[in-house]
Amino acid sequence: MPAIKVRALPARLVRMVEDLRRKEDRLSLLLSLVIGALVGLVVVAFILLTGRLAALMFPTGAAGWRRIVIPVLGSLVTGYLLFKYFPLARGSGIPQTRAALFIHDGRISLRSVAGKFVTTCLALASGIPLGREGPAVYIGAGLASTIARRLGLSRAQVRSLVPVGGAAALSAAFNTPIAAVLFSLEEIVGDLHAPVLGSIVLASATAWLVLHLVLGDTPLFHVPGYHLVSPAELGAYVVLGIVGGLCSVAFVKLLLWLRARFAKLPTASLWIQPVVGGLTVGIFGYFFPQVLGVGYDQIERVLNGDVILKTVAILAVLKIISTSVAYASGNAGGVFGPTLFIGAMVGAAVGAVAHLIFPESTAGPGAYAVVGMGTAFAGVIRAPLTSVIMIFEVTRDYTIIVPLMIANLIAFYISQKLQKRPIYEALAQQDGLHLPTRAVPEPARLLLVSAATREAPQALNPEMTIAEAEERVKDSVLESWPVSDDLGLVGMVRTRHIAAAVKQGRLDMTITRLMQIAKRSASDTSVDMPHVHNDQPLSRALARMKDNGFKVLPVVSRANGRIMLGIVTFEDILEAYGVERVEQLDYTDHPDL
């Protein structure tokens, strides 16, 4: 980093920078814009360079042997680079991004980013049938991580910027700003309500703007406006959902199985393993050139109805096999793009059959190819919300959205039933990593306040004297006691405050007065009447106890906050979590303990 003397900088600038660094929100917004622009430009360069390189490797009218030799050579070169210099750049990039986020405080090295860029570019240009979106996400997240660390931000800030970079990359790679936001939240962060939402949206929008500035306003796929021809056609889309779900499961299982087999091979063979993928792709590509590369051209053809049933069916099968082998053998590239390819081919095949049988009441195969992409995405990636929005964005076709949602849900359900773990989670697990999952909520979260609510004791009256109140609470272990008037609950009073008043001999003082004195205390917020509701999680009750210092909280009605339904105590919460049972274990049978 170049050394700039602080003394050489204008004092005003220094103050501005220091002010900016102190105000995290402002800095975060500024960085979102900067990361969005930088990542967008890097991803555009990545796409263009891959395209130009592919055009050089496979010029028009080139001999057929190139389709075998180039994928083999490409996988050999990238295999060596990955083995020797960039071991982190293998595969998709999304599990790696999640690992960086959840294990390494968002740290991704610039070297692995550069490695991902170079190796993926080479691999995809040489015809390896993997996707560019996963690597782009890793590149974006890595750039965000690098910038944040270079700026000396805190670990928390570095972590929060990783999904921001990922969203910006996906937005530019796929031309889908909304889906990028959803994907980043749904798949990378695993929480749709994450506090980084604003930054993610800003970065995604900026990257999208950059993409449009350089490449113009062109959707990823040009698709004619398809629509549901008849309500009965939904039946065909249901079939597509089922077939799409089954194909997704087949694809994921085959990929994971092959990856496990390759993992058992000697480590010394790591550099040559990708060639197995390259050779498989080359052989397939010799007979069916459409299998080579990302395959978006072929998807576009199919989406536009250029469908021959036999061809699309064969391409779906070949793509499943070639992508699985290429990925499992350790080539650089993701499964995002191939998933769409497989979905489009499967959809077109189902659509062609449906149109053959019911030509009057079904749309052309192109419509089914659109929906098929969504089903495969929902089945493989398991991000159903993202998949609907993504298909809408890549095709800019709203009219097919209802069949898309139905088919997606079916595929998602089938995939969930037959393949327990989503692909990225399963890949991380194969690598020995246990990253947080959004599919299984923590059991504790399911515990609600109602599980620990007990009957409230007879409330104190605000006009009651300290002597009368002391008489009522003296035998109780409750830390606080509810106070109610004729209209209902007015607050909580601490039993230790009553005891203190008794000790000071102020027996005639009213509870109202005692509560007013407590109100003046800056640390006591009992006058705000902290409370919980029966349907809130117990964790909320714990948090509220921590905030207010009460160990007893009133449980009140949502319809009227002054109607007390019961109370919840700290001990009750512990018991609901099972802590109490552990404490009550009988040790008599275990004298050694």
Partner 1 sequence: MRNMRTPLVQPAAPTPAASVSEFIATFAIILAAIVGLLLFDTALARVDATGRKATAAREFDTGQRLVAQGRIEPGIEHLRAATTLDGENSAYGVALAQATLAEGRPDAAEQMLLPLLERDETDGAVNLAMARVLAKEGRIDQAKSSYHRAIYGRWPPGAEKTRTEARFELIDLLAKANARQELLAELLPIQDDSTNDGAQRKRIAHLFVVAGQPSRAVTIYREILRRDSRDADAYVGLAEAALSLGDFATARADLLAAQKLSPADSISLQSRMILTDSVIGLDPTQPGLSLNEQARRSRNLLQMTVSSARRCLAAQAPQVAAALDSATALVTSVGAVTAPSIVQNISLAEQIWGLRRSRCEAEREDGALALVHNRITQ
Site for partner 1 in 84-113 (CB under 8 A): 87-88, 90-91, 95-96, 99, 103-105, 107, 109
Task: Give which of 424, 543, 398 is closest to 95, Cα–Cα.
Answer: 424
- Segment interacting with partner 1 (CB under 8 A) among 15-23, 401-409, 533-541, 560-568: 15-23
**Cβ distance 325 to 366 under 8 Å?**
no
Among 140, 190, 366, 374, binds partner 1 (CB under 8 A): 366
Taking the complex as a whole, the smallest distance from the CB of residue 364 to partner 1 amounts, in Å, to: 5
Taking the complex as a whole, the smallest distance from the CB of residue 544 to partner 1 amounts, in Å, to: 33
Between 42 and 545, name the residue whose CB sits nearer to partner 1. Answer: 42
Taking the complex as a whole, the smallest distance from the CB of residue 61 to partner 1 amounts, in Å, to: 8
What is the footprint of partner 1 within residues 333-352 (CB under 8 A)? none
Q: In degrees rounded to 5, what are phi and psi of residue 504?
A: -85, 0
Beta-carbon count within 10 A of 134 CB: 31
Taking the complex as a whole, the smallest distance from the CB of residue 215 to partner 1 amounts, in Å, to: 6
The answer to the question of residue 301 lying near partner 1 (CB under 8 A) is yes
The answer to the question of residue 526 lying near partner 1 (CB under 8 A) is no
Which residue bears the tokens 């395209």? Answer: 51
In terms of C-beta density within 10 A (0-12 exposed, 13-18 middle, 19 or more buried), how is residue 216 classed? exposed
What is the footprint of partner 1 within residues 482-501 (CB under 8 A)? none
Among 23, 26, 55, 474, binds partner 1 (CB under 8 A): 55
Task: Give which of 35, 51, 215 is closest to 140, Cα–Cα.
Answer: 35
What is the footprint of partner 1 within residues 367-386 (CB under 8 A)? none
Using only C-alpha atoms, what is the Rg of the chain? 31
In terms of C-beta density within 10 A (0-12 exposed, 13-18 middle, 19 or more buried), how is residue 279 classed? middle
- Segment interacting with partner 1 (CB under 8 A) among 129-137, 210-218, 246-254, 539-547: 210-218
Size of the site for partner 1 (CB under 8 A): 79
- Segment interacting with partner 1 (CB under 8 A) among 35-43, 469-477, 505-513, 531-539: 35-43
What is the contact mask toward partner 1 in residues 119 to 158, using x (rule: CB under 8 A)?
A: ----------------------------xxxxxxxxx--x
The answer to the question of residue 24 lying near partner 1 (CB under 8 A) is no
Alpha-carbon distance of 108 to 114, in angstroms, equals: 11
The answer to the question of residue 593 lying near partner 1 (CB under 8 A) is no
The answer to the question of residue 309 lying near partner 1 (CB under 8 A) is no
Could you say which DSSP state residue 88 is in? G
**Nearby residues of 448 by Cβ (< 8 Å), 6 or more positions away:** 534, 535, 536, 537, 538
Here the tokens at position 393 are 């964005």
**How many residues in the chain?**
593
Among 191, 300, 470, 524, binds partner 1 (CB under 8 A): 300
Here the tokens at position 343 are 């979905």
Between 115 and 245, name the residue whose CB sits nearer to partner 1. Answer: 115
Among 23, 26, 52, 420, binds partner 1 (CB under 8 A): 52
Among 29, 41, 279, 385, binds partner 1 (CB under 8 A): 41
**Cβ distance 57 to 127 under 8 Å?**
yes
Interior angle at CA 217, CA 216 and CA 220, nearest 5: 105
Taking the complex as a whole, the smallest distance from the CB of residue 442 to partner 1 amounts, in Å, to: 24
Taking the complex as a whole, the smallest distance from the CB of residue 14 to partner 1 amounts, in Å, to: 5
What is the footprint of partner 1 within residues 227-286 (CB under 8 A)? 259-260, 263, 267, 270, 273
**Cβ distance 335 to 277 under 8 Å?**
no
Among 24, 29, 37, 478, binds partner 1 (CB under 8 A): 37
What is the footprint of partner 1 within residues 180-209 (CB under 8 A)? none
Beta-carbon count within 10 A of 125 CB: 21
**Nearby residues of 71 by Cβ (< 8 Å), 6 or more positions away:** 126, 127, 128, 278, 279, 281, 282, 285, 292
- Segment interacting with partner 1 (CB under 8 A) among 47-55, 540-548, 570-578, 579-587: 47-55
Here the tokens at position 426 are 């399963």
Q: Which long-range contacts (CB under 8 A, 24 or more apart) does 266-269 make?
A: none
Among 24, 191, 306, 468, binds partner 1 (CB under 8 A): 306
- Segment interacting with partner 1 (CB under 8 A) among 53-61, 376-384, 415-423, 473-481: 53-61
Between 226 and 336, name the residue whose CB sits nearer to partner 1. Answer: 226
Taking the complex as a whole, the smallest distance from the CB of residue 316 to partner 1 amounts, in Å, to: 18
The answer to the question of residue 399 lying near partner 1 (CB under 8 A) is no
- Segment interacting with partner 1 (CB under 8 A) among 52-60, 64-72, 129-137, 230-238: 52-60
Taking the complex as a whole, the smallest distance from the CB of residue 258 to partner 1 amounts, in Å, to: 12
Between 310 and 590, name the residue whose CB sits nearer to partner 1. Answer: 310
Beta-carbon count within 10 A of 487 CB: 9
Taking the complex as a whole, the smallest distance from the CB of residue 155 to partner 1 amounts, in Å, to: 6
Between 369 and 552, name the residue whose CB sits nearer to partner 1. Answer: 369
**Cβ distance 142 to 112 under 8 Å?**
yes
What is the footprint of partner 1 within residues 408-467 (CB under 8 A)? 428-433
Alpha-carbon distance of 7 to 29, in angstroms, equals: 28
The answer to the question of residue 225 lying near partner 1 (CB under 8 A) is yes
Q: What share of the chain is helix, strand, coil (3-state, %, to 5)?
A: 65, 5, 30
Among 81, 125, 202, 223, binds partner 1 (CB under 8 A): 223
Task: Give which of 428, 487, 537 is closest to 100, Cα–Cα.
Answer: 428
Between 195 and 225, name the residue whose CB sits nearer to partner 1. Answer: 225
Taking the complex as a whole, the smallest distance from the CB of residue 306 to partner 1 amounts, in Å, to: 5
**Nearby residues of 231 by Cβ (< 8 Å), 6 or more positions away:** none
Taking the complex as a whole, the smallest distance from the CB of residue 267 to partner 1 amounts, in Å, to: 6
Between 293 and 482, name the residue whose CB sits nearer to partner 1. Answer: 293
Alpha-carbon distance of 25 to 220, in angstroms, equals: 34
In terms of C-beta density within 10 A (0-12 exposed, 13-18 middle, 19 or more buried), how is residue 401 classed? middle
For every residue of 241-263, DSSP letters joined together read HHHHHHHHHHHHHHHHHHHHHHH
